[in-house]
Amino acid sequence: MSPAIVLPPEQTKRENEQAFMYEKGVKNLYDTGIQHVPSKYILPTNERPFSSSSSFANRTSSENQIQIPVIDFAQLQGPNRAKVLRSLAHACEKFGFFQLVNHGIDEKVIAQMVDVSRRFFEMPLAEREKYMSADTKAPVRYGTSFNQNNDGVFCWRDFLKLVSHPLPEVLHHWPSSPQDFRRSGVTYAKETRKLFLKLVEAVLESLGLQTDDVKTEDFENGSQLMVVNCYPPCPEPDLTLGMPPHSDYGLLTLLLQDEVKGLQILHQDNWVTVLPVPGSFVVNVGDHLEIFSNGRYKSVLHRVLVNSNKNRISVASLHSFPFTTTVRPAAQLVNDANPQRYKDTDFATFLRYISSCDSKRKNFLESQKILT
């Protein structure tokens, strides 16, 4: 047996100090005035955002931009509903993403949510780290990277995750600072939840399903998780990512972006940047909706770029079935010509997966496919 390698005490101490610093997040690193990206955040060459090497999943250009389909929510409520439903189906099938405009949520509610989110990350680290936790089931969790328990290379992102339903059971866990955080967050969570319920009704209709075909309480009592993301300026943005290629686990995600671009989707084998549209939501199909639609609607890979001079804030509201519900293809969408394509699954299965496996790309969804 080979003898154990013993590191010099000073090297061990230095490595422990670095690991401790990384766990504190990239906002803390940025605040120290670093000039270079630490090695912990440097991606292999072929995984970097502007790599010209090999696989399609890395081909990108700073000039690749896309106008994803636009769904006018107000038109869904009027005489043009059938036409808009066809556009919605096309967006979910071909892009997995769309911009939602005229959604009815007051501009002030949106502006306050972005503002209070920005101020949360501007608070001293001592205040933010009160909410740090490695427990993926915690009702409130402040953390860094994508899945910091498993990530070999960290991402240039800090986050605050907030379980948002049912609010009376979780609100006392939410941050009490800034002083208006809970008030602004509750208003925003309630408004996005109402919007989701109306939107998912349209999604069901676009699939040819009626409310009688499904258990509506599974949507009305469904889970809601808000994720507030902070992407500080990065001294070497070509070496890292804000978030790696991944898909979302739920039914629909409603993403609120500030004016700083960074979101990219994989479309026709190329990474393309989704330009922010003021006042709109970027909505994307999640893994659960791909399963529920039996593969008709697509949960699409997306990632986040960072930049060297602007802080970026986004707020993602992820909506799905209740945590205890079994997710399976809708019975009306399964037949001899279109057999069941996915295994039955639930949220507990997803949590077990991400605690033990690499949850990037579409690995979880791929693990649920029925091989034919």
Q: How far apart are CA 158 and CA 174, in angstroms?
A: 17
Interval 298-324: pLDDT, tens: 999 999 999 999 999 999 999 999 988
d(CA 219, CA 143): 28
pLDDT of 356 > 90? The answer is no
Reported as a single tens digit per residue, the pLDDT across 120-129 is 999 999 999 9
Q: 3-7, 96-100, 258-262: which range is least confident on average?
A: 3-7
Reported as a single tens digit per residue, the pLDDT across 132-182 is: 987 878 999 999 887 666 678 899 999 999 999 999 999 999 999 999 999
Q: Provide the pLDDT confidence category of residue 103 given band limits of 50, 70 and 90.
A: very high
Is residue 259 within 8 Å of 313, Cβ to Cβ? Answer: no
Please say if the pLDDT value at position 23 is more than 60: yes
CA separation for the pair 179, 194 (Å, rounded): 25
| pLDDT score of 11 more than 50 | no
278: buried, middle or exposed (CB in 10 Å: 19+, 13-18, 0-12)? exposed
The pLDDT, as a whole number, for residue 150 is 66
Lowest-confidence pick of 197-211, 318-332, 338-352: 338-352
**Selection from 217, 200, 139 nearest residue 175 by Cα:** 139
Tell me: pLDDT of 329 over 60: yes
pLDDT score of 4: 45
The amino acid at 112:
Q
What is the predicted pLDDT for the residue at 58? 46
Residue 107 phi, psi dihedral angles, 5° rounding: -55, -35
Quote the pLDDT of residue 54.
38
CA distance 75 to 299: 25
pLDDT of the residue at 52: 62
pLDDT at position 24 over 80: yes
Global confidence as pTM: 0.90
Q: What is the pLDDT of residues 213-239, one digit of tens each?
A: 787 788 999 999 999 999 999 999 999
Report DSSP state, residue 4. Answer: P
Distance CA 191, CA 104 (A): 9
Q: pLDDT of 25-84, one tens digit each?
A: 999 999 999 999 999 999 999 999 986 653 444 444 445 888 899 999 999 999 999 999
Retrieve residue 114's tokens: 């972005």
pLDDT tens-digit readout, 242-287: 999 999 989 999 999 999 999 999 999 899 999 888 889 999 999 9
Phi, psi (degrees; rounded to nearest 5) at 132: -70, 140
Strands 252-257 and 281-285: antiparallel
Residue 3 is predicted with a pLDDT of: 44
pLDDT at residue 351, rounded to an integer: 74
In the chain, which ranges are continuous DSSP H helix?
Answer: 9-23, 26-31, 73-76, 81-94, 107-122, 125-128, 167-170, 181-206, 217-220, 287-292, 347-356, 363-367
